[in-house]
């Protein structure tokens, strides 16, 4: 798939593009997506696939983070809240997820 870069604010995208071009000599182009909210589905892919099969994720973009974990992108806060209402906590949707090695250290 195509990498997706998420940031808070447009300046972060400009900085990333500039650094790729100036420091690494790599051309970069950015294309805005129409999604404004992201949630990690900590329940895993089986739960995401089940919710999708039940038609509860229509209009939601499913992708994975660098660790293969499911992330859902929502076009609006309303849509996100609608999905949360439909699935309850079965997907364990969270606004962020920590890296697996950090998670492991926290458990010790």
Task: Kindly state the DSSP code that residue 76 receives in the 8-state scheme.
Answer: S
Q: pTM for this structure?
A: 0.83
C-alpha to C-alpha distance for 103 and 50, rounded to whole angstroms: 26
CA atoms within 13 A on the CB side of 86: 15
Beta pairing partners, 71 = 40, 63
Q: What is the reported pLDDT for 100?
A: 82
Q: What is the reported pLDDT for 5?
A: 83
Average pLDDT per 10 consecutive residues for the chain, totaling 108 residues? 80 90 92 91 97 97 94 97 96 90 84
């Amino acid at each position: 798939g195509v990498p997706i870069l998420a940031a808070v604010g447009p300046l972060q995208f400009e900085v990333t593009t500039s650094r790729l071009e100036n420091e690494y000599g790599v051309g970069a182009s950015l294309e805005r997506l129409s999604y404004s909210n992201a949630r990690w589905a900590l329940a895993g892919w089986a739960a995401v696939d089940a919710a999708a099969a039940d038609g509860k994720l229509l209009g939601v973009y499913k992708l994975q983070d660098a660790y293969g974990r499911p992330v859902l992108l929502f076009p609006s806060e309303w849509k996100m809240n609608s999905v949360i209402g439909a699935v309850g906590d079965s997907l364990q949707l969270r606004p962020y997820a920590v890296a697996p090695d950090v998670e492991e250290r926290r458990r010790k």
